[in-house]
C-alpha cells in the first residue's frame, strides 16, 4: 500500500501497531483463539435458537447456488463500494485453525467484518443488536489475555485491548484496506469488488504483519505441511462430530498420530504437526468415524468456504 493508503495505520499509537503485528501462528495462540471464537458463537445464541454470529456458513452450505441470491439480497443492506464479506465465526475459526492469519491485525479485522455483516443485515433478518456490546466485550477481554500479548505489554505496560481500542484498530485497518481495494475500481459495486477481494486481502495482511518492525517477535511459521484446504475440510467435518465421536478420534490421534494434550488436558489438534505420511491414516479414521450425513454437510461447507468470495463476481 502507498503512503496515503497506509496513513490511517501509521497514525495509530505505537502500542496499537505493535499489537496489530503480533504473530499468532504458534500453537497456543491458535487453539486459544479457536476456543474464543467458539465462545463468541455460543454467547451470541438468541431466543430463536440460532447463532447470529455462526449462521452464515451453515445457511449458505444448504443453498444450491452457494449463496448467490443471498449475496445479492444483503448487498442492498451494505454501504456503496463496500464488499459483501458474509463472514461468520465458523469461517474465522477454520481460518485460524489452518494458520490463515499472519498477524493479530488480520484476525481482528475479520472479527470486525463478522460484526459488521451482522449489523448490516440485522434489520433484514430481524437479528437482535442487543447481543453485540456483550460479545465485543467478551472478545476483547479474551483476546487481550492471550499469552502472546505479553510481548506488547512488556514494551507498553499501559496497553489494554478494550472495546474502544478494538474499534479504533479495526476501523483504521478497514479504511486502509478499502482504499487499497477501491483503487482503480472506483465505479465497481460492492458485489463486483469481490472479484479481487481475497487476493487483495492476502497481500494487505502480509503488509500488516510488517507494520511495526521494531517489535521483537519470534520467527514466523513458514507454512503448513498439510495443504490448508485439506485442513479446512477436516475441521469442518469435525465440527459435526458428537462427543462420542470426538473421544474415539482423540484416542486414535493420541495413540497413532503422536498428538499431545495441553495443560488443560485438551487435545492439541494441530494437523500441520502430523507428517504427511501419516495424514492418510488420520483421514481414513475420520471418514470411518463420521456418518454419510456429516460428510455431506461438511463437504458443502468446505465448498462454500472456497467460493464464499471468489464465486461472487
Question: What pLDDT shows up at residue 67?
Answer: 76
Among 54-63, 283-292, 300-309, which stretch is predicted with the lowest mean pLDDT?
300-309
pLDDT of 134 strictly over 50: yes
Answer whether residue 230 shows pLDDT above 80. Answer: no
Alpha-carbon distance of 182 to 5, in angstroms, equals 11
The mean pLDDT value for 84-110 works out to: 88
Q: How confident is the model at residue 34 (pLDDT cuts 50, 70, 90)?
A: confident
Mean of pLDDT values over 39-48: 75
pLDDT at 37 over 60: yes
Answer yes or no: is pLDDT of 117 > 60.
Answer: yes
* Confidence class for position 307, pLDDT limits 50, 70, 90: low
Query: Directed axis angle between helix 276-289 and helix 243-252, to 10°?
Result: 150
62-71, 108-117, 208-217: segment of lowest average pLDDT: 208-217
Q: Which of 251, 232, 247 is nearest to 306 (CA)?
A: 232
| pLDDT, position 220 | 40
Q: What is the mean pLDDT of residues 127-149?
A: 92
Confidence of residue 304 (pLDDT cuts 50, 70, 90): low
Cα–Cα distance for residue pair 76/252, rounded to 1 Å: 48
Residue 246: per-residue pLDDT: 83
Write the pLDDT tens digit of every residue in 239-288: 788 888 888 888 887 787 666 666 666 666 666 666 666 777 777 788 88
**Which region holds residue 99: left if phi is over 0, alpha if psi is between -120 and 50, else beta?**
left
Instruction: Please check the confidence at residue 295 and state whether its pLDDT lies above 50.
Output: yes
Residues 6 or more apart whose CB falls under 8 angstroms from that of 20 comprise 9, 12, 103, 104, 105, 108, 169, 173, 208, 211, 212
DSSP tag of 161: -
Confidence of residue 5 (pLDDT cuts 50, 70, 90): low
DSSP bridge partners of 51: 45
Kindly tell me if the per-residue pLDDT of 215 is higher than 70. Answer: no
Residue given cell 447456488 in the structure block: 65
Residue 41: C-alpha distances to residues 35, 99, 130, 251 (Å): 10, 20, 15, 27
Give the chain's mean pLDDT: 81
Q: What percentage of the chain has pLDDT greater than the value 90? A: 29
∠ at Cα 66 (61, 72), nearest 5°?
125
Does pLDDT of 47 surpass 60? no
Q: Which of 90, 73, 85, 84 is nearest to 34 (CA)?
A: 90
pLDDT at 104: 96
Query: Could you tell me the pLDDT band of residue 107, with boundaries at 50, 70 and 90?
Result: very high
pLDDT at 3: 56
Q: In this predicted structure, which of 104-108, 172-176, 278-282, 303-307 has the lowest mean pLDDT?
A: 303-307
In whole angstroms, give the CA distance from residue 138 to residue 163: 9
Amino acid at each position: 500500500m502507498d503512503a496515503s493508503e497506509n496513513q490511517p495505520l501509521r497514525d495509530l499509537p505505537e502500542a496499537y501497531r505493535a499489537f496489530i503485528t503480533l504473530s499468532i501462528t504458534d500453537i497456543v495462540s491458535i487453539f486459544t483463539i479457536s476456543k474464543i471464537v467458539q465462545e463468541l458463537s455460543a454467547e451470541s445464541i438468541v431466543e430463536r435458537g440460532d447463532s447470529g454470529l455462526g449462521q452464515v456458513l451453515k445457511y449458505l452450505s444448504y443453498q444450491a447456488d452457494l449463496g448467490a441470491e443471498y449475496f445479492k439480497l444483503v448487498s442492498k443492506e451494505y454501504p456503496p463500494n463496500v464488499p459483501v464479506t458474509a463472514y461468520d465465526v465458523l469461517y474465522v475459526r477454520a481460518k485460524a485453525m489452518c494458520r490463515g492469519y499472519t498477524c493479530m491485525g488480520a484476525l481482528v479485522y475479520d472479527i470486525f467484518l463478522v460484526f459488521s455483516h451482522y449489523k448490516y443485515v440485522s434489520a433484514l433478518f430481524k437479528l437482535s443488536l442487543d447481543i453485540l456490546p456483550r460479545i465485543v466485550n467478551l472478545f476483547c477481554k479474551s483476546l487481550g489475555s492471550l499469552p502472546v500479548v505479553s510481548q506488547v505489554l512488556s514494551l507498553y505496560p499501559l496497553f489494554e485491548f478494550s472495546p474502544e481500542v478494538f474499534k479504533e484498530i479495526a476501523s483504521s485497518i478497514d479504511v486502509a484496506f478499502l482504499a487499497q481495494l477501491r483503487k482503480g475500481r472506483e465505479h465497481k459495486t460492492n458485489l463486483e469488488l469481490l472479484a479481487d477481494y481475497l487476493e487483495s486481502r492476502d497481500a494487505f495482511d502480509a503488509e500488516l504483519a510488517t507494520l511495526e518492525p521494531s517489535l521483537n517477535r519470534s520467527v514466523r511459521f513458514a507454512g503448513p505441511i498439510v495443504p490448508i484446504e485439506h485442513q479446512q475440510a477436516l475441521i469442518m467435518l469435525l465440527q459435526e462430530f458428537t462427543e462420542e465421536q470426538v473421544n474415539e478420534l482423540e484416542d486414535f490421534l493420541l495413540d497413532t498420530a503422536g498428538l499431545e494434550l495441553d495443560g488443560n488436558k485438551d487435545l492439541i489438534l494441530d494437523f500441520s504437526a502430523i507428517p504427511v505420511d501419516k495424514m492418510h491414516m488420520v483421514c481414513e479414521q475420520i471418514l470411518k468415524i463420521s456418518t454419510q450425513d456429516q460428510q455431506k454437510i461438511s463437504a458443502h461447507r468446505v465448498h462454500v468456504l472456497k467460493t464464499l468470495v471468489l464465486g461472487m463476481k
